[in-house]
Structures are given as structure tokens and as C-alpha cells.
Amino acid sequence: MYWGQGTEGESLYLLIPAAGSGRRMGSDRNKLLLPLLGKPLIAWTLLAAKQSRQIDWIGIVGQPIDWQDFKSVVSDLNLVDSVQFIQGGSTRQESVYQGLQSLPTAAERVLIHDGARCLATPELLDRCSEALRDCPGLIAGIPVKDTIKVVNSSNSVIESTPDRSQLWAAQTPQGFEVAKLLECHQEGIRQGWQVTDDAALFEQCCLPVKVVQGEETNLKVTTPVDLAIAEFILRQRFGAI
């Protein structure tokens, strides 16, 4: 375990949006608390953060109904002293904004990593943390494999086929200078922008966002089939658990 080892330079702060529900999972509870190979899903996300060399502080953005369960996961992982709980909002965008406002004042750069991406490796978190020391904004991403179509939502007819060689699938971690990201969120509130990731706010404000090579296995667990795939990947990674 590298937890708490620290590195040269400033500390890195990690926010984990975890305030969603289990609607698309068909579950009546937060999907991050569903069991995955004997642990709640969020425990795998936190384990990767714990094993990262670069991260010194973790904020879990959640809903009060889940506090008790999150606290027992954090305690089982011996992370009690390093984790802060922050009240989330009704969208991911709101949850991240609340997380940003709750960062310690010393936080200059922040990584944001969805709790639902429980297969991200510590190496990916470290790669993004390293890269964030040299740029104001970044995301993990991978080139898309499918041909992507833009489809008219009213008649389901294809409008265009973007050049696949320029398309990347956005993942998390996403990392930013805290002050700049806060300004982008505030501008988003003023303008009524609704986005599904933080890079989109940076882009809307004409700030550059670099792409760091992500991981094909870094899927966002959203539906029951994702849970089955995640279990398969973890078994491959760690042997039969």
C-alpha cells in the first residue's frame, strides 16, 4: 500500500461523486452499495484510490441515506482518517460542484473520479495525477471502437457520421485546477448548461482539456450487465476471489 506516502510537490485531492441512485441498475438502492465479488462496489473504487501513490485526501460526495453504509466501507479499508463525506446534489454536476466547495482551501488541483468506475487501476489514477501537474485540465479517455452516428431524436434518422479517428470515449478520472473548475461550474449555473462531465464545462469556457490514455476495462457500472462484466474483469485481474 502506498497510502499516505506522499510525493514531491503539492498534495492531490480526489473527489468521488457517489450520490446517484440505482435506477438504471433496476435497484432501489445506490448501485455503489451493490455487492461485487464480496465487497460493495464503491470499496473497489476506494481500494484503487488507497493504492495510488499520489492521492492524499478523498472526498466522497453522497446522499445522507448512504452515510452509514459508506462509513462502514471506509472503516473496513482503514481510510477513516483520510476520507471526508460531502452532501451531494440531484445531478452529478451539482454533486461535483458541492464537492469542489468542500475541498480544503489548500487544494490547488483535484481529480474527480466516478464511484461507479470501480475498475480504474491505481496506475491510471497515478498517470492522471502526474499529468495534472503540467496542465489545467485533463480526462482519461480511449479511442472509440464503434462507428458513431448522430441520430435525429424525433424521427430516428441518422444525421451524420463523425470521423471515427477523432472520437474518444470520455472516462474518469478527470483532473483540473480547482479555481478554474469552480469558475466553470459557476458560469455553467449562470448559463444553465447541463453537462454529464466536468470537461464539458471547461470546454464551454474555452479552456484546454488534455486526454490521457484511459483503460478499456475502466467501465462505468450502470446496468446489470456491467456488474457481471465488472465481476469477470476483477476475477481475471486478481484470480478467483
Site of interaction with ligand C5P (CB under 6 A):
17-20, 32, 61, 88-92, 95, 114-116, 220, 222
Pairing label, strands 168-177, 137-143: antiparallel
Query: Based on CB atoms, which residue is closest to ligand C5P, 32 or 140?
Result: 32
Query: Based on CB atoms, which residue is closest to ligand C5P, 69 or 130?
Result: 69
Alpha-carbon gap, residue 92 to 160, rounded angstroms: 29
Query: Based on CB atoms, which residue is closest to ligand C5P, 2 or 22?
Result: 22
Least distance (Å) between residue 189 CB and ligand C5P: 15
Least distance (Å) between residue 33 CB and ligand C5P: 10
Least distance (Å) between residue 98 CB and ligand C5P: 9
Burial label, 233 (beta-carbon count in 10 A; 0-12, 13-18, 19+): middle
For residue 219 the three cell numbers come to 467501465
Least distance (Å) between residue 220 CB and ligand C5P: 5
Phi, psi of 181, deg, nearest 5: -65, -35
Q: CA-CA distances (angstroms) from residue 15 to 109, 174, 191, 236? A: 11, 10, 24, 28
Query: Based on CB atoms, which residue is closest to ligand C5P, 10 or 214?
Result: 214
Alpha-carbon gap, residue 59 to 68, rounded angstroms: 15
Query: Based on CB atoms, which residue is closest to ligand C5P, 180 or 220?
Result: 220
Least distance (Å) between residue 28 CB and ligand C5P: 15
For residue 140 the three cell numbers come to 482519461
Least distance (Å) between residue 155 CB and ligand C5P: 27
For residue 193 the three cell numbers come to 448548461
Residue 75 CB partners (closer than 8 Å, separation 6+): none
H/E element holding 134? none
| Beta carbons of 86 and 109 less than 8 angstroms apart | no
Size of the chain, expressed as the number of residues it contains: 241
Query: Based on CB atoms, which residue is closest to ligand C5P, 7 or 84?
Result: 84
